[in-house]
Amino acid sequence: MAQLFIRRPILAWVFALFISIAGIIALPFLPIAQYPKVAPPQLTISTTYPGASPQDIYQGVTRLIEDELNGVEGLMYFESTSDTSGQVSINATFEAGTNINQASVDVQNAIRRVEARLPSAVAAQGVTVEEAASGFLMFITLTSTDGTMDEVALGDYLNRNVLGELRRIEGVGRAQLFSSQRAMRVWIDADKLVGLNLTAGDINSAITAQNAQVAAGQIGAAPNPISQDLTATVLVKGQLTDPAEFGNIVLRANPDGSSVRLKDVARIELGAETYNFSSRLNGQASAAVGIQLSSTGNAVATSKAVSAKLEELSRFFPSGVAYAVPYDTSPFVSASIEKVLHTLVEAIVLVFIVMFVFLQNFRYTVIPTLVVPVALLGTCAVMYATGFSINVLTMFAMVLAIGILVDDAIVVVENVERIMAEEGLSPKAATQKAMKQITGAILGITLVLACVFIPMAFFPGSTGIIYRQFSLTMVVSILFSAFLALSLTPALCATFLKPIKQGHQEKRGLGGWFNRKFDGLTNGYTKAATGGARSAGRMMVIYLALVAGLGYLFVSLPSAFVPDEDQGFLIVDIQGPPEASANRTVASIEQIEKIFKDEPSVKDVVAIQGFSFSGNGANAALAFITLKDWSERGADNSAQDIANRANMKLFGLKDATTFALSPPPIEGFGTSGGFSFRLQDRNGIGQAALSAAAGELMQKAGKSPVLAGMRIEGLPDAAQIMLVIDREKANTFGITFADINNTITANLGSSYINDFPNAGRMQRVVVQAQDRDRLQVEDLLKLNVRNASGGMVPLSSFAIAQWQKGSPQVVGYNGYPTIRISGAPAPGNSTGAAITEMERLASELPAGIGYEWTGQALEEIKSGSQAPFLFSLSILFVFLLLAGLYESWSIPLAVMLVVPLGIIGSVLAVLLRDMPNDIYFKVGLIAIIGLSAKNAILIVEFAKDYYAEGKTLLESAVLAAKVRFRPIIMTSLAFTLGVVPLAIATGPSAASQNAIGTGVLGGMISATILAVFFVPAFFVFVLKLMRTKRPEVETPPEEPTTVQH
């Protein structure tokens, strides 16, 4: 193939231009993301059971739905929360790669099977199934700059005019309103009801009857007489529209002609539909909506689309209303990719410098450099065709590929230059001769490197997605590199290089000084290599000692999934005392806002009262802290530094327990960094026993030096009132349990009756007792229930109230009552060590208590079990390929023995920098396996040919090592310096860059330094041990003038 392009250089340019143009066209259309869709897809099932206790909700609603979820195809795990606000939320997580649309259909079908068994109040609210990620992409707030609109008015405007527009944007999985739209609120006066011998049920019935749509029909509608020539629609105002009209609803007509109206026993107003949530922006009341990304959405594109839509809608906002996007996770994604792009450019520059130092000619240096952009553009075109995105994994692959991309081109250019200098051939003739010598080597090394990464592409699950995007990007880059080395590079050598007079290779000046020094180094190396090959047995003993040390060091490496990153924001979980009201929680929020306002690196604070990842309730809140740009903060103000300083102050708050947490490094794996542990009641031992076990576990974990930041994710037990009803006595009064239930729900809960038209929208009518009639236990007991004979009987006549402690929420995980526990490894420990410690402590708990991992911890456990198989498969693939190429079992063995020498450097490098064995380290190890084998191939291949010529094993090994020393050092140094920017990166995504760069850098250094000494010894030892026959010579290599790689 190379000979064709040497004869037809324009054809080579045409192919290169085609590849480049395809990449340039594809580049603007490639989506930008932090990671590919690594997190498993999720569906959120939600409904409401107003006024019900968490235990009743769990048994009567949540558990029924959970039972039907079992068996849904692709379901990995599900977690539910049932709380005192009546909210039911079930998050169902599916295996990576599951068709989420089909999964949604399957879940909806499962819910339909159980709908008939759900309470009527739940059926009236409806059960929704939405696709969403677990975390929030962004928060949008509306504020009144002139104070003319309160939070309810802002929430109503947001719900009417903004929420629907946002939900229709591609990529938005869920838009959750943390304010409330308006509703017609009917506040009952209990004393007036008693005085007029009425009940809440009477009010509900009257509203239902008198606020109703009427379909009156038409006058003159068919069938009609032939003489009828007029039709007209009859309109009847059945639905009421304002508080005055609702106030005139007749509750009872008296015999004397008077009547009792709704306004006589209740206050009617346009209020909020719910008072469960309130939101604040930098201390100011606001209306807020949280945007969650769909499983197929792109964070950067969705954020831009949402911002553009808000800008468009803002032109229609009422005067004095302003919007803000105080929390947005996408800038970190963009900054991370930009940072890796800078690293990519730095790597190209460093590789160029190395090539120029060794080649000492601008023309020779430019040719390999031209290969880089063409190969990278070609890779972008393939990425677009396969649906990949520009993310940190594909970008890391490109950075690592740079050294490999120039490698093949360097082989060609250096060999052409050497032949011209030594034999005085023209550039074209030298190129033709050079390509005959090295085409086989280029193809062999290309296949080996590609073969190393291919097994990664077939691993299942979320970890497999990480491996796949990295490996396929590497493979495509390597294949383009080989193609260009056999097409464009020889064409450029034949046409672009200038002739060199025979024997004119000696350079003067700096180049000459460098060459003389390097020749001295080569001579010294040759002597050392000769001694090592001559004492091959001794070298193998040293090798075995190194391998044994490697095994010890590898096992001692701490494990992790991916490193935590400074993403530019923090999450603060706020839990007030169990009995705390919303007002007390807001007071705590104000203190927290002040703490973060005093921090110079904080930009915005968004706080949501009534909502937290631990559960909803009046005593719960969540704050999202957006930090200033990384460039404005400095080295001492990382997100973790700010969190540590804030936590010192937050621990001093008296009326709330708070934690400032880092977000999870991969969106969709939990709600914060660290690990997520689920303690389960497997044998029905009860909530009290489960809570006691959780307390025991937390006490032990608090004393462990391996664990830190331990906390129970949930609302603590709170005061509850158990209403004990004497059903037999109630029956003697002629009262049914349904009558009791309706009375309590209507007064203490909030009864949704029906809808009314308001400014073009249908909104709810909600009945509830006024606040002063639901403050004390006595208010509950004095509620009256009408008996069968029409008399009024107070609850106190047949019921008593008992105070008790109970959980304000019930959590389930995979169908078992659960307590959620989160934590993090103590400084100096890895998440792998923390996982092992938690499992040890949990094994000491009483019988009937089980546990499961979820989120990132679960993925870490799964990825750790896959890694040994992955490494073994890559090594096996390379060995088999080499055996096929060389038609030998011994030569591939001599090559593969070098692999541990590269791994030694990787392990030592991460140990020195106190880094764990995470996904990035594993990916780097795969690269090191291929690169280590590549260096060995460059020596062994030539040694094999010299041995076939008739030289002894020792002579063959030493001569091959000497011939290959300079190109090995040059290509290895080019690759190593290309990785340096990753290893020393700072700023956005620095932890990930350091994680992959450190391992690869250390591995490449050791693979180069150790391999050049050990490979000659391996060749001699293995071929002697296996008594390998001298291979036949197909094409005798030329004296040291042959190939230079």
Radius of gyration of the chain (CA): 37
Please, are residues 15 and 485 in contact by the beta-carbon 8 Å criterion?
no
Report the Cα 628 to chain-centroid distance in Å. Answer: 22
Inform me whether the pLDDT recorded for 293 exceeds 60: yes
DSSP labels, 899-944: HHHHHHHHHHHHHHTT--B-HHHHHHHHHHHHHHHHHHHHHHHHHH
Q: Which tops the pLDDT comparison, 748 or 273?
A: 273
pLDDT over 50 at 725, yes or no: yes
pLDDT over 60 (residue 1034):
no
Q: What is the mean pLDDT of residues 538-545?
A: 92
Residue that has been written with the tokens 């750790």 in this structure: 864
- Maximum average pLDDT range among 310-324, 645-659, 699-713: 310-324
**HSE, side-chain direction, 13 A CA sphere, residue 49:** 20
Residue 433 CB contacts under 8 Å (≥ 6 apart), including other chains: 419, 425
Q: Which residues pair with 177 in a beta bridge?
A: 289
**pLDDT one-digit tens code per residue, 144-157:** 998 889 999 999 99
Reply yes or no on whether the pLDDT at 1041 is more than 50: no
Phi, psi (deg, nearest 5) at residue 142: -115, 135
Write the Ramachandran bin of 126: left for phi over 0, alpha for psi from -120 to 50, otherwise beta.
left
891 close to 448: Cβ distance less than 8 angstroms: no
Instruction: Give the tokens for residue 45.
Output: 């099932």
Range 410-421 average pLDDT: 81
Q: What's the rounded Cα separation, in Å, for the pair 1043 and 437? A: 6
Which pLDDT belongs to residue 504? 46
Instruction: State how far the Cα of 414 lies from the Cα of 421, in Å rounded to an integer.
Output: 11
**What pLDDT was estimated at residue 708?**
85
Per residue in 564-617, pLDDT (tens digit) is: 888 889 999 898 888 788 899 999 999 999 999 999 999 999 999 988 877 777
d(CA 726, CA 827) in angstroms, rounded, equals: 57
- Give the per-residue pLDDT at 462: 74
CA distance 777 to 148: 38
Whether the per-residue pLDDT at 416 is higher than 90: the answer is no
Split at pLDDT 50, 70, 90, the class of 714 is confident
Chain centroid, CA 491 distance in Å: 45
Ramachandran class of 255: left when φ > 0, alpha when ψ lies in -120 to 50, beta otherwise: alpha
pLDDT band at 425 (very low <50, low <70, confident <90, very high): confident
Is the pLDDT at 1040 greater than 60? The verdict is: no
DSSP character at residue 59: I
Residues 6+ apart with CB under 8 A from 737: 725, 727, 730
Distance, in Å, from the CA atom of 886 to the CA atom of 173, rounded to the nearest integer, reads 54
The answer to whether residues 937 and 440 touch, using CB atoms and an 8 Å cutoff, is no
Q: How far is CA 495 from CA 9, 363, 373, 431, in A?
A: 8, 11, 20, 10
181, 273 contact by CB (below 8 A):
yes
Q: Which of 738-747, 915-924, 987-996 has the lowest mean pLDDT?
A: 738-747
H or E element in which residue 330 lies: helix 330-359
| pLDDT for the residue numbered 453 | 82
Please, which residues bridge with residue 677 across strands? 821, 853
User: What was the pLDDT predicted at 594?
Assistant: 93
> Rounded distance, CA 747 to CA 62, Å?
24
- Tell me the two tokens of residue 574: 């706020």
**Strand 75-83 relative to strand 809-813: parallel, antiparallel, unpaired?**
antiparallel
The Cα 330–Cα 585 span in angstroms is 30
Which of 246-260, 406-420, 745-759 tops mean pLDDT? 246-260
| Band of pLDDT at residue 830, cut at 50, 70 and 90 | confident
pLDDT at 1031: 57
673-709 pLDDT, tens digit each: 678 899 999 988 888 889 889 999 999 998 999 888 8
Average pLDDT rounded to a whole number, residues 902-929: 89
Spatial distance between the Cα atoms of 73 and 101, rounded to a whole number of angstroms: 12
Say which DSSP state 499 is in: P
Instruction: Please give the angle made by the CA atoms of 877, 881 and 884, to the nearest 5 degrees.
Output: 145
pLDDT at res. 79: 92
Residue 1020: partners with Cβ closer than 8 Å, 6 or more residues away: 533, 536, 953, 954, 957
Task: Give Cα separations from 428 to 64, 420, 444, 501 (angstroms).
Answer: 79, 10, 24, 14
Per-residue confidence (pLDDT) for residue 141, from 0 to 100: 94
CA 400 centroid distance within chain? 23
Give the rounded percent of residues in the chain with a pLDDT score beyond 70: 96
Contact 804, 723 (CB under 8 A): no
Give yes or no for a contact between 130 and 173, defined as CB atoms under 8 angstroms apart.
Answer: yes
Q: Mean of the per-residue pLDDT values for the chain?
A: 86
Domains in the chain, start-ordered, CATH in brackets? 1-36+331-501 (1.20.1640.10), 40-132 (3.30.70.1430), 187-218+231-268 (3.30.2090.10), 522-556+887-1035 (1.20.1640.10), 719-809 (3.30.2090.10)
What are the percentages of helix, strand and coil residues in the chain, rounded to 5? Answer: 55, 20, 25
Nearest of 180, 186, 61, 66 to residue 121 by alpha carbon? 61
Query: What confidence tens digit (pLDDT) does each residue in 842-861 have?
Result: 999 888 899 999 887 887 77
Three-state SS for 217-250 is CEECCCCCCCCCCCCEECCCCCCCCCHHHHHCCE
The rounded distance, in Å, linking the Cα atoms of 1030 and 71 is: 62
Taking a C-beta distance cutoff of 8 angstroms, is the pair 29, 384 a contact?
yes
The percentage of the chain sitting over the pLDDT mark of 90, rounded to a whole number, equals 28
Tell me the pLDDT band of 508, cut-offs 50, 70 and 90.
low
